[in-house]
Structure 1
Amino acid sequence: MTSVRQLPRLLRIAAVLLRYRLDELVDAAHLFRPLKIIRPFFPKPRADIAVMPRGERLRLALTELGPIFVKFGQILSTRRDLLPPDIAEQLALLQDQVAPFPGAQALAMIEAALGKPIAELYAAFDQKPLASASIAQVHAARLHDGREVVIKVLRPNIAARIQQDIQLLQALGALAQRWHPNADKVRPLDIVAEIENTLRNELDLQREAANASVLRRNFLNSDDMYVPEVFWSHSKESVLTLERVRGIPTDDLRALDAAGIDRIALAEKGVRLFYTQVFRDNFFHADAHPGNIWVDATRTADPRFIALDFGIMGSLPRADQFYLAENFMAMFNRDYRRIAELHVEAGWMPSHIRLDELEAGVRTICEPYFTRPLSEISLGEVTFKLFQMARRYELTLQPQLILLQKTLLNIEGMGRLLHPQIDIWATAKPVLEKILRERYSWRATAKMLRTRIPEWIAGAPEMPGLLHAALKKSVEGQHEVRITSADLRALSDASRANRRSVVPALFGAALLLSAAVLFAFDQHGPRWLGVPLSSEVTMVVALIAFVRARARR
């Protein structure tokens, strides 16, 4: 329940909502009903406000409510699966520009965080900020060795302000949870929790520095992207010092053309760069709008990007990464059945879903797109509509995939801005194929096994004892099995397939243990890639057994 201390802030929000005629949105959602009571006490909106589209009115209202609500709108714009398109597009336009706080105050905060006078830390410090955002602002400076840097410093008392507004958002989320007709699907409290987690991560500039450091290492000496250096000696949780870089925002087409940048090559490189980050490194820049992605103007023949602002980065669980890559490849090949199977195999959808119905739904979404030229097809748009369709088939919400989808839409939008005729599919497919060949090659598998086999060997001596104990309990009737009703239904559906697959699975497990033993003790036999050949042959036979077991399910 909303506390009394929050009432003044709540009343101000109500006044802004009414001023921008956003009570229409509230009425449509059946929440925040007290607005109906106080509506007569407020004047009608100005004529210029009354004629604005609802998305624009919402964007202006969030801007007036302050920096935290601007950030809230930005984060909410990433949830295109839950928002009407007109509102999502307007929220994506929110500019994170707010009034700066005094430079002298920033200077004092930097000295307090780093524990030294500003003159000892920097040879020069400009108190006029380069940029001011909702969470922090940026100042230019120069180190004593002559290198130019930028200093990002958190706004004063921002943590307490965010905590207050998060509590208010939680109260509003509780109202939405109670009154929204589709609260079980929208899950407003989960959205607030996601926003809270994102904001708290952005309050930790040490975390952002670590993100920048990893991304820089992934693209060190790369011709595709440059990431500024982090100066750890001048960085703390509330202060971040980075190498100063200069470039052209990706949406400034006139400046790019004036610099002689090959926009076609740049657009194709941007698409390839996205798939490289996601599927090669599993670490991608998830806030890739033109303000954060610049172009190095010093390289005209082979242009490269410059990445900024590393507060929001994305990564995927290994299994999701594999299934997502397979989904893209199935989409490239128009294999609708495979897309349906992958959604179930990944656990994104329950196993009781009929694959033929899901396949028909996928075909209904995808086939109209393939009647167009490939250069007009948006992977992000297709993926978004697939998620919308899949919600009818009990899709489990995957926040990490939603962040990826939002980034994909940003990258494709940037690519088409730079080169309207870009063929996203032709550009992305060979990159993804190459990454998958390398990631799931025999060499990569052998490397993975070499890292895992010592772990298996360490546990191998315990296996006979554990197996003996389990068999003894079974013989004596002491083995306990706890199964829920849902588990029983799943077992009933899969029992016939499991009976056929259990023998090759057990055979494969025995061979796997044998391969681990051979790896440890076969020191004199022939080797390949540093692994005993006997161990590798046994491992291959074990993998074949597992494949046969899976095929029989």
Structure 2
Amino acid sequence: MLTSLPPTFAHASAALVGATGAGVGAWTAQLVSLAFFLSFLVALGLLASRMMGVPFNLPRLAVAGLVGMAAGGAVGILLAFDSFQAAATSTTPDHTEPRVLVLLFGSMAAASLLVFVAFELAVPQGTRLRPVTAARAVLNLFGRMGRYRRIVWILARHGLWGYVTGRRDGGEDASTQRRIARSLSRSMEEAGVVFVKLGQVMATRRDLLSPVFVEELGRLHSEATPVPFEQVRTTVERELGQPLEEVFADFTDRPLAAASIAQAHLATLKDGGEVVVKVQRPGISSVVRRDLDIIRRLARKFEQTTDWGPAIGVVELAEGFAEALLEELDFEVEAANIAAVAEATAGSAVRIPQVHETFTTRRVLVMERLHGTPLGSADLDGVDGAALARTLLDCLLEQVMMSGIFHADPHPGNIMLLEDGVGLLDYGSVGRLDGQIRESLRMMLLAIDRTDAVLLTDTLLDVVEDATEVDEERLRRALGQFMARYMHGSAAPSMRMFTELMLIVTRFGLSLPAELAAVFRALATLEGTLVHLSPGFDTVSEARRFAEERMAGQLNADHLRDAALAEFAAMLPALRRMPRKLDRISDQLHKGRFTVRIRTFAHPDDRSLVQGVVQRAVLTVLAVATGLMSVGLFNVIGGTDTEWFELTAPERVLTLMAWLLLASSGLMILRLLVGVAKEGRRRRTRRP
């Protein structure tokens, strides 16, 4: 069979040229073949662009046509190999078999369309091709696949894979919940630094996780091996662009502290200033970005395949964690955070280390050294704990309520007890509040202080992301019971009551803005520190004192006048349009032409959704119908194995119609696939 392929291809070429190639020179035959090829290519492109609903693209079409015609031609010849042999050995003109040419053209067209659709699915039109980026993406994919296997193996070894894929639920008994939480904690610790940090962040979300998970994840800790000093020197010199000795008069080779992302060294500048140099660990950026990409992908999978994923907002949790961790990788962002917090708390008794911006880069941070002891290990004998606690609380409330930028992680390890006061360290995690959120926070605190359930409900509904389907009456009663329990009941008021407030909001299917939840978490974290400083410290009473002292100025005549003028200026455009609108409405009422128009699908997205569903349904029905019709016609004429010259004229017409219907069905199916892929990309692009 293989020895007959060369003459078979030659005969196929001669058949394609047909009568035009006979009797003319070889050059004319080649030109005719080229013209035929180009015409076929253009026709194929027009057909593809119309049937697939994509723009005409000549370069893409040329590649698809070349590959498709080569592959389709080879497939067509192999499929009709016996017919080619019969045509090559026959001396009777009637055995040329036009069906072979139809099969050849059909296979080439189908293969070209398949290649065209594959291009459209893999690289949509309008995508800018970047070979270097594509090669890097392929390498990252291989690295990610190895990391995927490692994570799946860890989860499976700890018996968690069935839970994270949604095939098993967590059960209701406490022992099962405890076992799952402990296994999850061990899995994250084994998976590495990024997953440990994710577990630590999840442990702060008491509004999303049950207490047993919060307790187990709260025990996570990462042990970092110090980076050798030669690597530290290389990083610092590369970032600063000069030798270490030209910048620092002294630089200790032993780290002051080593963490998962960076380690700190004591140093002395040339001018004698004592500083702490924070140096990022070599290679940690690529590790963090790789694991964050995996976490994002896993979060999207859990959102779609599990019940608990949408319940806790796993995608939003992953995105927020990734954004915060990427900020921690950029020390210039941390330097800007330090400067902003220092400006916001100017005049406070809390010391903020000064940043040396000249020697600060994305991977190296040089800041003032504060002489003291971390609060968690400090000796508090002889220390006025109540005064220090009051100073720290005032500092954080000043940041939150007045300036809008605050330290989001004030745990004892980030607070240093100094000889003359207290210092606040580590600004990798900083929260920011705009004016509207700060005003809403003030109203919430005012409502809680006055036990006003109506005001608290209205304020919460103003700041939550989606409150269209909430039962306001049930929410108001739940908030009233919450405030009665804490403000006038047996439960002592504390900052941790905001954790219960977030749980109530979550129970009603609502979600507080991330920055507002960060405020409540920071206050709850700080309260533990304050009680450590001064047992029995009444955080709520001290917060009321702060409000009376610092915010009373906002209720004076000048401030109220300025606020009223600002509100009036915002309402002025609407007030100017109001008389014209009222006049227009009264005129329509007087003439009996006043109408109310209600549109069921008023939003363009709703109309687009309905149109897309209807179009795909119609196209699916047509594709199935034409496919069944082609099968029926093939059955009428006896199948596809009947030789063309054996068919009668009506049967040949039916055969051509059957092939055309089958091709139309295939084209419609391909268009459906392209439409589904494009809609999927569009939804991923719109996802916030």
Normalising by structure 2, what TM-score? 0.59
Aligned equivalents of 1:171, 1:344: Cα separation in 2: 31
Say yes or no: does 1:7 pair with 2:7: no
Aligned equivalents of 1:422, 1:333: Cα separation in 2: 22
Say yes or no: does 1:288 pair with 2:410: yes
Q: Which residue of 1 aligns with 2:558?
A: 443
Say yes or no: does 1:379 pair with 2:495: yes
Shift of 1:235: 0.6
Q: Which residue of 2 aligns with 1:134?
A: 260
Three-state SS of the structure 2 residue aligned to 1:284 is: strand
Q: Which residue of 1 aligns with 2:356?
A: 231
**Measured at CA, do residues 392 and 79 of structure 1 come closer, stay the same or move farther in structure 2, by a change above 3 Å?**
closer
Aligned equivalents of 2:370, 2:221: Cα separation in 1: 21
Q: Which residue of 1 aligns with 2:533?
A: 418
Aligned equivalents of 1:166, 1:172: Cα separation in 2: 10
What does the per-residue CA deviation read over 1:294-344, in whole Å, with 9 as the maximum and x for residues that have no partner? 222x13xxxx32111111111212112111122112212222222112222
Shift of 1:80: 2.4
Shift of 1:447: 5.8
Three-state SS of the structure 2 residue aligned to 1:229 is: coil
Q: Counterpart amino acid of 2:230?
A: A
**Measured at CA, do residues 425 and 187 of structure 1 come closer, stay the same or move farther in structure 2, by a change above 3 Å?**
closer
Shift of 1:125: 0.8
Kept in 2, the 8 Å contact 1:248–1:256? The answer is: no
**Measured at CA, do residues 98 and 368 of structure 1 come closer, stay the same or move farther in structure 2, by a change above 3 Å?**
same
Shift of 1:88: 1.8
Q: Which residue of 2 aligns with 1:264?
A: 386
Shift of 1:360: 0.7
**Measured at CA, do residues 356 and 106 of structure 1 come closer, stay the same or move farther in structure 2, by a change above 3 Å?**
same
Aligned equivalents of 1:442, 1:483: Cα separation in 2: 46
Query: Which runs of 5 or more structure 2 residues have no equivalent in the other structure?
Result: 1-139, 169-175, 589-595, 604-688
Q: Which residue of 2 aligns with 1:316?
A: 433
Q: Which residue of 1 aligns with 2:617?
A: none
Three-state SS of the structure 2 residue aligned to 1:251 is: helix
Q: Which moved more, 1:353-362 or 1:155-164?
A: 353-362
**Measured at CA, do residues 234 and 5 of structure 1 come closer, stay the same or move farther in structure 2, by a change above 3 Å?**
closer
Q: Counterpart amino acid of 1:81?
A: D
Q: Which residue of 2 aligns with 1:342?
A: 459
Aligned equivalents of 1:3, 1:485: Cα separation in 2: 45
**Measured at CA, do residues 51 and 274 of structure 1 come closer, stay the same or move farther in structure 2, by a change above 3 Å?**
closer
**Measured at CA, do residues 100 and 165 of structure 1 come closer, stay the same or move farther in structure 2, by a change above 3 Å?**
same
Shift of 1:167: 1.8
Q: Which residue of 1 aligns with 2:154?
A: 16
**Measured at CA, do residues 448 and 236 of structure 1 come closer, stay the same or move farther in structure 2, by a change above 3 Å?**
farther
Three-state SS of the structure 2 residue aligned to 1:156 is: coil
Shift of 1:3: 4.8
**Measured at CA, do residues 486 and 78 of structure 1 come closer, stay the same or move farther in structure 2, by a change above 3 Å?**
farther
What does the per-residue CA deviation read over 1:419-477, in whole Å, with 9 as the maximum and x for residues that have no partner? 33122221111212333333454433556789999x99xx99xx9999999999x999x
What does the per-residue CA deviation read over 1:254-282, in whole Å, with 9 as the maximum and x for residues that have no partner? x122xx11122222333333222210221
Q: Which residue of 1 aligns with 2:686?
A: none
Q: Which residue of 2 aligns with 1:36?
A: none
Shift of 1:402: 1.8
Aligned equivalents of 1:7, 1:94: Cα separation in 2: 26
Aligned equivalents of 2:234, 2:358: Cα separation in 1: 18
Shift of 1:383: 1.7
Aligned equivalents of 1:482, 1:200: Cα separation in 2: 49
Three-state SS of the structure 2 residue aligned to 1:295 is: strand
Aligned equivalents of 2:297, 2:454: Cα separation in 1: 44
**Measured at CA, do residues 205 and 51 of structure 1 come closer, stay the same or move farther in structure 2, by a change above 3 Å?**
same
Say yes or no: does 1:110 pair with 2:202: no
Kept in 1, the 8 Å contact 2:375–2:412? The answer is: yes
What pairs up with 1:212-251 in 2 under 5 angstroms? Answer: 212-223=338-349, 225-251=350-376
Query: Which runs of 5 or more structure 1 residues have no equivalent in the other structure?
Result: 34-49, 489-553
Three-state SS of the structure 1 residue aligned to 2:271 is: coil
Q: Which residue of 1 aligns with 2:625?
A: none
Normalising by structure 1, what TM-score? 0.72
Aligned match for 1:406, one of 496, 501, 521: 521
Q: Which residue of 2 aligns with 1:177?
A: 303
Say yes or no: does 1:429 pair with 2:551: no
Three-state SS of the structure 1 residue aligned to 2:370 is: coil
Three-state SS of the structure 1 residue aligned to 2:551 is: helix
Aligned equivalents of 2:167, 2:259: Cα separation in 1: 30
Q: Which residue of 2 aligns with 1:276?
A: 398
Kept in 2, the 8 Å contact 1:149–1:241? The answer is: yes
Aligned equivalents of 2:164, 2:183: Cα separation in 1: 17
Kept in 2, the 8 Å contact 1:219–1:226? The answer is: no
Q: Counterpart amino acid of 1:378?
A: S
Aligned equivalents of 2:432, 2:544: Cα separation in 1: 20
Aligned match for 1:193, one of 305, 311, 319: 319
